[in-house]
Structure 1
Amino acid sequence: MKKIFLIVLIASFSLSSFAQRSDNDWYLSIGVNAINSLGSRNPIYQPGDWTFEFPISAAVEFNWSEDFAIEQSITFNGFAESSKIDVVPFGPLPKDYNYVSLDTHLKYYFGRHIFRDADWIDFYANAGIGFFHIDETNISANLGGGVLFWLNKNRTFGLRAQTIGKFAFNHKDSGFDNNHYQYHLQAIFKL
């Protein structure tokens, strides 16, 4: 019953937000990412040991209101043989591993509610689901947030920094495909 109530509540916010906006905005972002899979609950634990191998990330975002958006992203990265990862705490990885993820996020932009006169900066929170692969494949529940800096008055080009916590399903049995943090630095363009 609680799940049904939550779904109805989210849908009603979405529909009311959609009805308040006459134009729909699409954005493309591209940039780099880093992965913290060190087994710590601290999102800024040992930044020097985060992985940064072929760190490409891209996303498409659809804003259906001033406050809400949905984003689909793809991320590539990797773990070199010398990388630290939480399931191998006492030695190097046995080989290189590639990382790929597909994430879908619902985003809530709340920056204009805090800084009403600052149209050059915006903050958001995001939540969603992801699919990622290192050694095996796993699905994750994602939770994060970010900041977006607009570099022009028309708000058509900007830079954003984002952190996402990825909580893997079956994380106790998933080996390398486990809980981790992912950080993005991207340029964003209005389409």
Structure 2
Amino acid sequence: MKKLILLGLLVSFSLSSFAQRDTKDWYLSVGVNAINTLGSQNPFYNPGDWSYQTPISAAIEFNWAKNFAIEQSITFNGFTDESQVDVVHDFEELEKDYNYLSFDTHVKYYFGNHIFRNADWIDFYANAGIGFFHIDETNLTGNLGGGVLVWLNQSRSFGLRGQIISKFAFDHSESYIDNNHYQYHLQVIFKL
């Protein structure tokens, strides 16, 4: 395993330099998402029980500085009574199907160039922001997360992105389903 990590680092440092991150650029991303409402502090707990019903997500991002961007996203998903039995917060059974809708605004800090200075084909970022979501009721969230963006061409106009967001519901004590949860995204990103 150590040899594979060393080889991966060697390959990333030896790759030729791609274009630098430009400022004042707009990006569009579309893809899929999954929701983990299992009530665990482990974000990777039991992925077979995450929700994947109509898992559509899209976002628009604006880079206003070299390492900073702001993103607005919209996400659709849902929970079915058959597939999500005993998997919501506090392990209560669902009585019917629920749809999930969220709008999130995040500020992103890209720090990949601090880790891999010569590998401009990969970028890591952290994000924080606020969100609005509706399942059975409406709730607001404070969000923290991060992700990785892999550019698939030298002009950095097309890539793949994976991210995880922890969503902390502001008013969660009264609700058994509109509660804290994790959200995972796998998206294709395009420079506009």
TM-score (normalizing by structure 2): 0.85
Partner of 2:113, secondary structure, is helix
* Contact 1:168-1:177 at 8 Å conserved across structures: yes
- Residue 95 of structure 1: CA displacement? 0.3
Q: Which residue of the partner structure matches residue 123 of structure 2?
A: 122
The residue type equivalent to 2:139 in the other structure is: N
Which structure exhibits the higher relative contact order, with contacts defined as CA atoms closer than 8 Å and separated by 6 or more residues? 2
Q: Which residue of the partner structure matches residue 105 of structure 1?
A: 106
1:120-147 CA-to-partner distances (Å, cap 9, x unmatched) read 0000000000000000000000000000
* Contact 2:61-2:70 at 8 Å conserved across structures: yes
Partners of 1:95 and 1:37 lie apart in 2 by: 16
Distance change (3 Å), C-alpha of 1:62 and 1:56: same
Partner of 1:48, secondary structure, is helix
Distance change (3 Å), C-alpha of 1:173 and 1:109: same
Partners of 2:49 and 2:176 lie apart in 1 by: 19
Q: Which residue of the partner structure matches residue 54 of structure 1?
A: 54
- Residue 175 of structure 1: CA displacement? 2.5
Q: Which residue of the partner structure matches residue 68 of structure 1?
A: 68
Q: Which residue of the partner structure matches residue 96 of structure 1?
A: 97
1:109-165 CA-to-partner distances (Å, cap 9, x unmatched) read 000111000010000000000000000000000000000000000000000000000
Q: Which residue of the partner structure matches residue 175 of structure 1?
A: 176
Could you tell me which runs of 5 or more consecutive residues in structure 1 were left unpaired when the two chains were aligned: 1-20
Q: Which residue of the partner structure matches residue 86 of structure 1?
A: 89
Return structure 1 stretches of 4+ with deviation > 3 angstroms: none
The residue type equivalent to 1:48 in the other structure is: G
* Contact 1:112-1:122 at 8 Å conserved across structures: yes
TM-score (normalizing by structure 1): 0.86
The residue type equivalent to 2:146 in the other structure is: G
1:72-99 CA-to-partner distances (Å, cap 9, x unmatched) read 0000000011202114x25x31000000
Partners of 1:22 and 1:44 lie apart in 2 by: 33
Could you tell me which runs of 5 or more consecutive residues in structure 2 were left unpaired when the two chains were aligned: 1-20
* Contact 1:138-1:174 at 8 Å conserved across structures: no
Percent of aligned pairs with the same amino acid = 71
* Contact 2:34-2:185 at 8 Å conserved across structures: yes
Partner of 1:159, secondary structure, is strand
Q: Which residue of the partner structure matches residue 7 of structure 1?
A: none
Alpha-carbon RMSD: 1.3
* Contact 1:162-1:184 at 8 Å conserved across structures: yes
Aligned residue-pair number:
169
Q: Which residue of the partner structure matches residue 189 of structure 2?
A: 188
The residue type equivalent to 1:58 in the other structure is: A
Q: Which residue of the partner structure matches residue 148 of structure 1?
A: 149
1:37 correspondence with 2:40: no
The residue type equivalent to 2:149 in the other structure is: L
